Amino acid sequence: MTILQSALDKVNEVDEHRRSLLDTLLQLAINSGIVPKCLHVRGVNNVGQFPIASGGFGDVWRGEWEDRTVALKTVRAAILVSQNDDTIHRRLCKEVLLWRQLRHRHLLEFIGICNDVLQSPAIVSPWMQNGSVLQFVRLQPSAVKLRLLSEVADALQYLHNQSPAVIHQDIRCANILVNDSFEAVLSDFGLSRIDSTLLSVSTSSIEHGCLRWQAPELVFADMPRPCTATDIYALGMTGLELLTEKPPFASNATDPAVVMDLYHGRRPTRPTTTELPEGMEISDDIWRCLETCWSKDADARPSATYIWTCLMEEIEKLNAGNALLVKDFQTMQGKHIELEGALVGLSETLPEDNLLASSPTWQEDYANEYVPPGHTVDFSMADDVFPFNSNHVDSKPDDIQANINVISTSDQPNRTG
């Protein structure tokens, strides 16, 4: 198996032999219940006595490995007891192997699998200290949210363009993290797929709180079959969630009420200005794009590529109107503000208010922290312009200059990086 994995690492993704190599490796994993030795992670330490957070299917632990902070996600013990442990183990082997072959900047990296630290095998991935996307975008303008959503669409088109297509099955803001470059990364790929094979999709959705993102054909079908169209439906609901900072069907307090809406063919209504976060707006083009995603006719739903194109066109319009869309957080110079518990696709466990939003002047406080000595930041800017920028950035696009007035009272100090 190690030889097969080494061969897969060397061949190009479009190589005609890649598919047969992968099929052979996956079948070996299912039959044997093992993975190549090169995927075993050893030497993880500083793992706490209790998990940091829990989701519908697994628990998340924090640890250290080779000078990196990592997340370890395990299948919850209660599920292991209720299901055949060998079945889960074999399925886990297959899914982590498939995840290992996927390489995209907006998919969470798979490091390996750890068997010697916790009571059950743990999937190891980088720790995302910027937390989940929904916590990250609080109080941010539409341009930032659209950019992050376009990165998720980019990851999804990569998955759907695999042969055969890879279906994520659990797209929502809780499973979208923000990496060290302040880009969106889609997570929870492996466990969401294992979950749906052990339980019916509708049962899994209700028990784990993700029904609001599920296409009707998954909720009501006797034999639901996740496909690219059901992923697209979830992406549309995720877009609505990200832009409104509320779950889909937010006016419904309970999931059974959502089920009734789905049964009667109802879809989310367009939020009014007062229902949106302050300074936020959803253009007609973006709303139409979202509506096509949750079309009742699955065949009428667009591709991830089409959604990505729509989002990029809207971003270009915002750029043309001087809305600030640089890599949004460059002035933080690699510094991070860690949100307690904000990690690895489990934002549903977080408090409503994050550490930044707890202060009414957090924009000024954090921006001024990164402004060079002798400089101040003028915050008399339009509400819809991102507030984090100063001349701490070596080269400033014109649109930054137009919206943030950095007032110099001394010569610019020398900078080493």
CA 394 vs. chain centroid, Å, equals 30
pLDDT digits (tens, 9 = 90+) for 326-342: 444 443 333 333 333 33
Q: What is the pLDDT of residue 146?
A: 95
Q: Which residue has the higher pLDDT, 70 or 28?
A: 70
pLDDT digits (tens, 9 = 90+) for 351-392: 333 333 334 443 444 344 434 444 444 433 333 333 333 333
Longest dimension (CA), the chain: 71
- Whether a cis peptide bond, with omega within 30° of 0, leads into 164 is yes
Q: Bridge partners of 107?
A: 186
Q: What is the pLDDT of residue 332?
A: 39
Q: What is the pLDDT of residue 414?
A: 41
Q: What is the pLDDT of residue 387?
A: 34
Q: What is the pLDDT of residue 147?
A: 96
Contact 79, 11 (CB under 8 A): no
pLDDT of 148 strictly over 70:
yes
pLDDT of 406 strictly over 50:
no
pLDDT digits (tens, 9 = 90+) for 255-287: 999 999 999 999 999 999 889 998 888 999 999
> What would the mean pLDDT of 181-193 be, rounded to a whole number?
78
Q: What is the pLDDT of residue 177?
A: 95
Q: What is the pLDDT of residue 115?
A: 83
Residue 120 — very low, low, confident or very high, per pLDDT cuts 50/70/90?
confident
- Take residue 169 and report the two structure tokens written for it: 């099955």
pLDDT of 107 strictly over 70:
yes
- Take residue 87 and report the two structure tokens written for it: 């079945």
Which of 148, 149, 107, 137 lies closest to 125, judged by CA? 107
Tell me the residue ranges of DSSP E strands in 322-382.
375-378
Residue 151 — very low, low, confident or very high, per pLDDT cuts 50/70/90?
very high
Q: What is the pLDDT of residue 7?
A: 66
Q: What is the pLDDT of residue 319?
A: 83
Q: What is the pLDDT of residue 41?
A: 87
Contact 123, 91 (CB under 8 A): no
> What would the mean pLDDT of 302-309 be, rounded to a whole number?
98
Q: Which residue has the higher pLDDT, 181 or 28?
A: 181
Residue 15 — very low, low, confident or very high, per pLDDT cuts 50/70/90?
low
- State the average pLDDT for the chain: 73
The CATH number given to 131-198+207-325 is 1.10.510.10
User: Which superfamily is assigned to 1-126 in CATH?
Assistant: Phosphorylase Kinase; domain 1 (3.30.200.20)
Residue 190 — very low, low, confident or very high, per pLDDT cuts 50/70/90?
low
pLDDT of 191 strictly over 70:
no
pLDDT digits (tens, 9 = 90+) for 203-225: 444 444 588 999 999 998 877 88
Q: What is the pLDDT of residue 388?
A: 33
CA 66 vs. chain centroid, Å, equals 25
* H/E stretch holding 199: none
Q: What is the pLDDT of residue 89?
A: 67
So where are the chain's domains? 1-126, 131-198+207-325
> What would the mean pLDDT of 151-160 be, rounded to a whole number?
96
Which of 92, 342, 41 lies closest to 198, judged by CA? 92
Number of residues that make up the chain: 417
> What would the mean pLDDT of 74-80 be, rounded to a whole number?
60
Residue 99 — very low, low, confident or very high, per pLDDT cuts 50/70/90?
confident
pLDDT of 141 strictly over 70:
yes
CA gap 324, 386 in Å, rounded: 6
Comparing 68-72, 240-244, 332-336, the range with the smallest average pLDDT is 332-336
Q: Which residue has the higher pLDDT, 196 or 292?
A: 292
Residue 232 — very low, low, confident or very high, per pLDDT cuts 50/70/90?
very high
The pLDDT > 70 percentage for the chain reads: 60
Which of 238, 278, 236 lies closest to 140, judged by CA? 278
Q: What is the pLDDT of residue 17?
A: 64
Q: What is the pLDDT of residue 223?
A: 79
